[in-house]
Structure 1
């Protein structure tokens, strides 16, 4: 009898017909945690946009915006920490994570379009005000959202996310060359950023204890980068990043005008977005909690507990 159950279960799984967790005879399903993280998707502009969600929607919302080349996966351990007191949404951008990846020839990959999709997602979730965690690509996406409706943003948590020219150092020179001349040659020169060695470097460079970085991170990310057509998606995003630089003065003026409270938790050893990009925020924002952490680009991997603790204290003060 047990063997027949196993065979029927395996067949159903292979057929894709089982959509719910399997409960074997005599095995009771555990009660779901009230802070469980759900992975779901919403169709926006003809694409399935995946997102992680946790916490009570009646609580204040925290939006988590990921960087390159990862996805909402980078927040997998932070989300449950926040969900006890907050409603948390962490989307995957088009071409990233579990979201759809249209062909780069048929869809305009840009930071402006991604920001619009994030706004649509929040609107359909009936989210009003929200605090936002900005990291890497998440910064220009979040600041574009902020520029559309500054009063909607209750607070910023800024982690290695740039809005100042001081934050674009030598690392960006080959990308700046692509902004100036979008030639195949300049594009091909950037493909090295999309290799496993480069991905592993992003997660491990500047980290004090490399053993704190789970290699599943860069294996998972590299699988996504290696999908057919994804390099062309990433080249489009590399090119469009140049459009953000011209928006910096506008965002800085909005910081000065609206003065959202900000928590800065920045990996100071990051070569992509170095600490020179963190300090200028203090010139434009008055309510700033400022922390440079002795780690690299993906600071959550080594300082996740510290960031979660600082965030909860900061959000409790600014959003509740």
Structure 2
């Protein structure tokens, strides 16, 4: 049995929860989750990789078991979430690491890479977008409208993303075997993002998401200059970040490894864990053999 350690650290006065597993002397792998989940999305992946890698998987502030201070206490932007992640890794002595990004984890991961390119040994992106082609227009239209003009006209459409039906859809759309997806996932996510006051946290991040696409040219330049090893493994049926977003990485990283998994959706680990874990183990082992 792989030991997964459940820990807390205080960062900037806030308690940040993280999962840790694997030998500390092994190559580090940082797992950054997306909306509306938490590091819980990696609960099965961590044991599949922890024999070879030192894994750190934090919950972003406002999610999971981390603190969720109100927006008048903590400014919820992707810059500020990156600040927290960067400080946590420094506190844990993680100076060089591969990073796995999914959904919201991607803009945090890209900021970490831009701030300290030498820290990133490799990138694994699973529906972690970095290109305009990745946005599925119908899904993102309400987000862009809210970011441009937050208020009573645009807010109901993004608030709907906090509903149980919308969260269930995130887990089940594009999945060819929905019976493999544990209903506890969307029930837990729904409960956590709907804690008293957390709606304002999520609205703040919906509004700030528009700061991410303007950062993409810098991310592409980082890719071209550093040629960081990259694995893109996406569900072929993802209707949030479509397959064209995965293919686009090869524009700036010709050696990127891209896999579109048939029958997989946005939360690919729920239905295709063994496939994803196999790709990751092969990819990372070829880059930096474990101790």
> Are residues 1:211 and 2:189 paired?
no
> Are residues 1:305 and 2:274 paired?
yes
Normalised to the residue count of structure 1, the TM-score between the two structures is 0.88
Q: What is aligned with 1:122? A: 89
**Partner SS for 1:42:** strand
> Quick one: distance in 2 between partners of 1:319 and 1:128?
15
The correspondence of residues 26-41 of structure 1 with structure 2, limited to 5 A, is 33=1, 35-41=2-8
> Are residues 1:151 and 2:118 paired?
yes
Q: What is aligned with 1:246? A: 214
Given that 1:261 and 1:286 are in contact with CA atoms closer than 8 Å, whether structure 2 keeps it comes out as no
**Partner SS for 2:247:** coil
Structure of higher CA gyration radius:
1
* Structure 2 unaligned spans of 5+: none
> Quick one: distance in 2 between partners of 1:260 and 1:319?
13
What's the CA shift for 1:286? 2.7
What's the CA shift for 1:268? 1.5
What's the CA shift for 1:41? 0.6
What's the CA shift for 1:158? 0.6
Q: Summarize deviations over 1:165-210 as a string: whole Å, max 9, x none.
A: 1112221011111121122331232111100001111000110001
- Matched length: 287
Q: Detail structure 1 runs of 4+ shifted over 6 Å in the superposition.
A: none
What's the CA shift for 1:280? 1.0
Q: What is aligned with 1:58? A: 25
**Partner SS for 1:184:** coil
> Are residues 1:162 and 2:162 paired?
no
The correspondence of residues 185-204 of structure 1 with structure 2, limited to 5 A, is 185-204=153-172
* Structure 1 unaligned spans of 5+: 1-32
> Quick one: distance in 2 between partners of 1:192 and 1:170?
14
> Quick one: distance in 1 between partners of 2:82 and 2:74?
15
> Quick one: distance in 2 between partners of 1:200 and 1:286?
36
**Partner SS for 1:39:** strand
Q: What is aligned with 1:136? A: 103
Q: Summarize deviations over 1:10-55 as a string: whole Å, max 9, x none.
A: xxxxxxxxxxxxxxxxxxxxxxx5x300111100011000000001
Given that 1:155 and 1:319 are in contact with CA atoms closer than 8 Å, whether structure 2 keeps it comes out as no
> Quick one: distance in 1 between partners of 2:191 and 2:170?
15
Normalised to the residue count of structure 2, the TM-score between the two structures is 0.97
What's the CA shift for 1:262? 0.7
Q: Summarize deviations over 1:273-293 as a string: whole Å, max 9, x none.
A: 111211110000132111001
> Quick one: distance in 2 between partners of 1:59 and 1:284?
29
